Amino acid sequence: MRKLKAVDFFCGAGGLSYGLTLAGIKVIAGIDIEEECKDTYETNNPKSKFIPSDIKELTYEQLEKLKVKRNDDFMIFAGCSPCQHWTQIQTDKKKSLKTKYLLKDFQKFVSYFMPGFVVIENVRGILSKKDESKLTSFLAFLRRKGYDADYGIIDAMHYGVPQRRKRFLLIASRVHKEIKLPEADKGNVLRVKDFLGVDNGFARIGAGHVDQTDFLHTTGRLSDKNIRRLKLTPHDGGTRLAWKNDPELQINAYKDKDNTYKDTYGRMFWGKPAPTITTKFHSISNGRFAHPNEDRGLSLREGATLQTFTKTYVFKGSGIGSIARQIGNAVPPELARRIGINLLGAGGSES
């Protein structure tokens, strides 16, 4: 059997590579400009080569040395680029200008190597601003090159991931006509309680707990005032409205603005999917990231578990913020695994 193989551009901590590997696809290399991801990627994806490079400086020869060939019908190029510039989350867009047109840089490698398959996962903004993001021109390029493509907005909670995570997903192929996105499983939505809690191997801990083991059940520190706020926040989905009338605890920016950023300082619900796990999931001031019933934010391992990383996946970084960024930026491995299975079913092997 000849099996599919892949190159993972913008690989980060390796969520996509890991998921594709679980599906039975050989990942030849992962490429990322962030060298802080190198140790994490290589530790968990030992059969893949990590290439620390800016895609603008990456050469065709670097891939050819890894036996990446042109016009390989069994090759996948995955381009899940950093998406800060197109995210709908309020961020400083000036900081993300360098990532604005990474799709165009990725297109250069697709054009040269002409892989059998192309996969792109990104934030929804890349579609809603498709002219500015260069998606329109990329789709036209795929058509000119003979690729058939299917794309749209999917929610990871319909693909075995216990969080609401809406993303743009594109799958294209020049060797398999009428290619389709993986089918959504809307009848089996997973919940926080299916993954977190004592029954799922997470001991009760407090804010600021440091786990020196690779399990990394480590939480961010909280001020005394924030701990007081959480103690007043009802378990299982409570919000900051519980202490809005306390003049000492209420936050000035939220006075008389109950519907502004209403999830900040909120607790997750046990019986619902988690909110999108972002790069700031360890901070309760950045979303509904407080534990359902413990007075703390999520631990690093809890965030990784909600991203569907296995509990044995090892994260290495300079601190809690570095590792949280790796986790939040990752493609959920279970979503990646289902993408891989879909590609294999679309003609990814032959006898």
Give me the catalytic one of 11, 37, 80, 83: 83
Identity of residue 282? H
Tokens of 43: 């530790």
pTM attached to this predicted model: 0.93
Q: How many CB atoms lie within 10 A of CB 8?
A: 31
Q: Which long-range contacts (CB under 8 A, 24 or more apart) does 239-248 make?
A: 239/263, 239/265, 239/266, 239/267, 240/264, 240/265, 240/266
Tell me the average confidence (pLDDT) per consecutive run of 10 residues in the chain, 351 residues long.
88 98 97 95 98 96 97 96 55 50 92 98 85 85 97 97 97 94 95 98 98 98 98 98 96 92 96 97 97 98 98 97 97 98 75 28
Structural domains of the chain sorted by starting position, each given as residue range(s) with its CATH number in brackets: 5-183+331-345 (3.40.50.150)
- pLDDT of amino acid 72: 97
What's the distance, CA 133 to chain centroid?
Answer: 19
Indicate if 37 belongs to the active site. Answer: no
At 349 the pLDDT is 46
pLDDT at 128: 76
